[in-house]
């Protein structure tokens, strides 16, 4: 087994006791190693949750680069919305909007195990809900918002006349198994009990994509290999807002003080991680069919890959 294969294998073995099944992809320069458990392979489809946000952000950057929208264009140009919120604010979680649509946070606290909790988030619901919200002043403070990211996806979809998955697949043309519908592997809660899938309706830009480790790894690689996405990637990674003394947010992605760029995601039965070091040309993708964090092991693997690059 190669050194890359051994590092990947070690990560899989660390994850295996705590997850029903996982697939790990390790990227090192031009090489990619993929290993899985529970019969999951490179083509297995998972809910990727909030990793969807970085796909949404790259779609935004692609449309900006093509001159179809402006990064600081008001959301009001696309949807009825409070004044002052821009597309940049939505992509960087500085819109001042709450984490969830109004009323959903209390519901989530009272009924945390509600199956498919976002299925009612249609465009009509989101727009009516937005009219009831008085956001904090936009552009000032990082405030993670699923609502904001979902509205970004909805705004771009309406602008182009495409559904959200159609738009993602048009702008990120090499995707093969990424959309918001169709079968996935079975998801599990933290006790490894099967749970129902999630459907995010028109909030899909915040976390509704389903994908394979092959597609997510190819997407990550496009952030350090030259290709059609390069202009959009440069724009996405150059846009910076400081979250705290240790981390910044770009368009979609988070960046640590040490230079690792990443995003994670979680739904009712899945956990996902995608991260990379653009200087070292290394990356890690972990998709799990169990709602348990993979962040620590993913970051360790990414640092180990970068240290030997």
Q: Which tens digits make up the pLDDT trace of 276-294? A: 999 999 999 999 999 999 9
More confident residue, 236 or 106: 236
Give dist(CA 100, CA 247) in Å, integer: 23
pLDDT by residue (tens digit) across 2-59? 899 999 999 999 999 999 999 999 999 999 999 999 999 999 999 999 999 999 999 9
What was the pLDDT predicted at 305? 96
For residue 189, is pLDDT > 80? yes
Q: Where are the alpha helices (DSSP H) in 176-271?
A: 204-207, 213-221, 230-238
Cβ count near 88 (within 10 Å): 22
CA distance 163 to 167: 6
CA–CA distances in Å: residue 293 to residues 42, 47, 189, 205, 305: 20, 14, 12, 21, 20
Question: Given a cut of 70, is residue 300 above it in pLDDT?
Answer: yes
Domains annotated for the chain, with CATH where assigned, are: 3-308 (3.40.710.10)
Q: For residue 127, what pLDDT band results from cuts at 50, 70 and 90?
A: very high
Please compute the mean of the pLDDT values over residues 255-280 and round it to a whole number. Answer: 97
Q: What is the reported pLDDT for 73? A: 98
Q: Terminus-to-terminus CA distance in the chain, angstroms?
A: 18
Give pLDDT, residue 163.
Answer: 98
Q: Report pLDDT for 49.
A: 98
Quick check: 309 pLDDT over 90? no
Q: What's the pLDDT band for 212 if we cut at 50, 70, 90?
A: very high
User: How far apart are the C-alpha atoms of 208 and 236, rounded to whole Å?
Assistant: 21
Is 68 in contact with 53 (CB distance < 8 Å)?
no
pLDDT value at residue 1:
63
127: which 2 tokens? 């727009």
Model pLDDT, residue 208: 98
pLDDT digits (tens, 9 = 90+) for 76-124: 999 999 999 999 999 999 999 999 999 887 676 667 778 899 999 999 9
Among candidate residues 241, 236, 292, 286, the one with its CA nearest the CA of residue 269: 292
The residues, any chain, with a CB within 8 Å of residue 48's CB and separated by 6 or more, are: 207, 209, 210, 211, 216, 265, 270, 272, 287
User: If you write DSSP's letter for every residue of 44-109 in order, what string do you get?
Assistant: -EEE-GGGHHHHHHHHHHHHHHTTSS-TT-BGGGTSS--TT-BHHHHHHT-S---SSSTTHHHHHH
- The confidence score (pLDDT) of residue 265 equals 98
Predicted confidence (pLDDT) at residue 184 exceeds the cutoff of 90: yes
β-bridge partners, 187: 195
Tell me the pLDDT of the chain averaged across its residues: 96
């Amino acid at each position: 087994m190669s050194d890359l294969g051994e590092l990947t294998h070690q990560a899989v073995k660390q994850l295996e006791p705590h997850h029903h099944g996982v697939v790990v992809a390790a990227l090192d320069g031009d090489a990619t190693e993929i290993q899985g458990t529970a019969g999951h392979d490179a083509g297995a489809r998972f809910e990727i949750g909030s990793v969807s946000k970085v796909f949404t952000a790259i779609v935004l950057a692609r449309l900006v680069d093509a001159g179809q929208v402006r990064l600081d264009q008001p959301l009001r140009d696309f949807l009825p919305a409070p004044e002052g919120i821009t597309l940049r604010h939505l992509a960087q979680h500085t819109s001042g909007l709450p984490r969830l649509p109004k009323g959903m946070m209390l519901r989530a606290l009272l009924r945390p195990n509600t199956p498919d909790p976002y299925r009612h988030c249609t465009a009509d619901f989101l727009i009516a809900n937005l009219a009831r919200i008085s956001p904090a002043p936009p552009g000032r403070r990082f405030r993670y918002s699923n609502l904001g990211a979902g509205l970004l996806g909805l705004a771009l979809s309406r602008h182009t006349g495409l559904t959200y998955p159609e738009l993602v697949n048009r702008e990120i043309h090499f995707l093969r198994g990424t959309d918001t519908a169709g079968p996935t592997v079975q998801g599990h809660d933290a006790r490894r009990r099967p749970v129902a899938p999630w459907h995010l309706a028109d909030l899909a830009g915040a976390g509704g994509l389903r994908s394979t480790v092959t597609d997510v790894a190819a997407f990550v690689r496009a952030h350090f290999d030259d290709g059609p996405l390069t202009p959009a990637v440069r724009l996405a990674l150059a846009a910076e807002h400081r979250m705290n003394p240790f981390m910044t947010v770009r368009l979609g992605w988070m960046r640590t003080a040490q230079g690792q760029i990443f995003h994670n995601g979680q739904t009712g039965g899945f956990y996902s991680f995608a991260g990379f070091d653009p200087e070292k040309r290394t990356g890690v993708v972990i998709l799990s069919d169990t709602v348990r964090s993979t962040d620590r092991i993913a970051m360790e693997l990414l640092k180990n890959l970068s240290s030997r690059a």
